[in-house]
Structure 1
Amino acid sequence: MTPGRIIFLNGTSSSGKSSIARELLDILDDGVFFHLSVDDFNSMRTRRELGPREFDAALRRTRLGFHRSIAAMAEVGNDLVVDHVLSEPWRLADCLTVLPPEDVLFVGVHCPLEELQRRERARGDREPGLAELQYGQVHRHGDYDLECDTGTASPRACAERIKEFLPRRPTPTAFSRLRELLDQDRMPRR
């Protein structure tokens, strides 16, 4: 069985990852793609109030389970569009460990901080300042196959750029290069 392709969108909250993912599902015509979102996984969690330690532990388990769900879906041949916030080094390290690096197109989704803040206020469903907290973290690893900026391009334009790039994935991929750094212990895991 041929493993599925993974288009992995990484960016801060409100950067436009989900909007790009929806556009990709509309325009990708060479397979059946599924959108897996970390926000959707979070929304499946119990609604009862959790203390800080319990919440942190649940959040970590949710992320670990999300990463393994991506791997399982791709392993059986499903093509995926993943949107995630790699705001802590261990999240990327875990993804590099469980996902097949040669099957991942790693896309950095950027947006100017002022625009992120405006989007957060307009949405009203995000913790104010969340994107700002994540801003200096999510792209710290510094290596992507492709990058897009939703401050200057529409989600549709970003999706079209990704679609055009998908058949021309580089060898080695960004995930392969980052995995090598991880294996050499030159990449933070915590």
Structure 2
Amino acid sequence: MRGPGDEVPASPESSEDPARARSGRIIFLNGTSSSGKSSIAQALLQILDGDPCFHLPVDAFHAMRARREVSCEAMPQLLRRTWKGFHRAVAGMAAAGNNVVMDHVLSEEWRLLDCLGLFKAKEVVLVGVHCSLEELERRERERGDRPPGLAARQFHHVHAHGLYDIECDTTTTSAMDCARQISNFLPHQPVPTAFEQLTAALRPDLPTAD
């Protein structure tokens, strides 16, 4: 019996040319704080068929940071580095052939532009997670672990790019029902994907994918 730290014998796949390795799918959930992204992600992990998915939430990356005081002047750059590292971790997992469910808050344009330059656009399913502002504020008060008004500040920015493969609304729809909508959509994702269209429109500097 092997332990967690024991080496696993090399398989034929381990010698595969990295340039030809299968890229994993990224299910990209975008919505404000408290919109239900993480709950949808957890539901997706329960119902998706095929290879196991990994849920990579951006909150987990913020939580990894050492618990020490950071000045107001230094915080914006620290947060930017955290977001950029999160993007690259997701890209790396997918490049290694893993399917990923990520949740994000595209409240600043540079975040989307950075992701467009990192992810294989045809393998991204961009999901808009909507919720009414009234319900977001109610959830925020109930949770008590978010700065008051955070969702309201993000509300008019998160979906500004305006294009998705599929959208869901958690105001009255459960996370599991939203996950089922997404799962049922996956075999029918159109071409070009939303990410391919956004790349063409917003990142013309990038080389065209084969």
Q: Normalising by structure 2, report the TM-score.
A: 0.86
Shift of 1:152: 2.4
Provide Cα deviations, 1:140-173, integer angstroms capped at 9, x if missing partner. 0000000000002110000000000111111000
Please state if 1:110 is matched with 2:130: yes
Aligned to 1:88, which of 96, 108, 112?
108
2:121 counterpart of 1:101: yes
Among all aligned residue pairs of Structure 1 and Structure 2, give the percentage whose two residues are the same amino acid.
Answer: 59
Q: Which amino acid aligns with 2:56?
A: L
Tell me the SS of whatever aligns to 1:9. Answer: strand
Equivalent of residue 82 in structure 2, options 62, 65, 82 = 62
Provide the residue aligned with 2:55 in structure 1: 35
Cross-structure match for 2:16: none
**From 167, 170, 176, the counterpart of 1:156:** 176
Residue aligning to 2:99:
79
Work out whether 1:144 is the aligned partner of 2:168.
no
- The number of residue pairs the alignment matches comes to 185
Residue 125 in structure 1 maps to residue 145 in structure 2 = yes
CA contact (8 A) 2:32 2:158 kept: yes
Q: CA deviation at 1:112?
A: 0.1
TM-score (norm 1): 0.95
1:168 aligns with 2:185: no
SS at match of 1:52: coil
User: Unpaired segments of 5 or more residues in structure 2?
Assistant: 1-20, 206-210
Cα RMSD over matched residues? 0.9
CA distance in 2, matches of 1:138, 1:64: 17
Could you say which structure has the larger radius of gyration?
A: 2
Structure 1: runs of 5 or more not aligned: 186-190
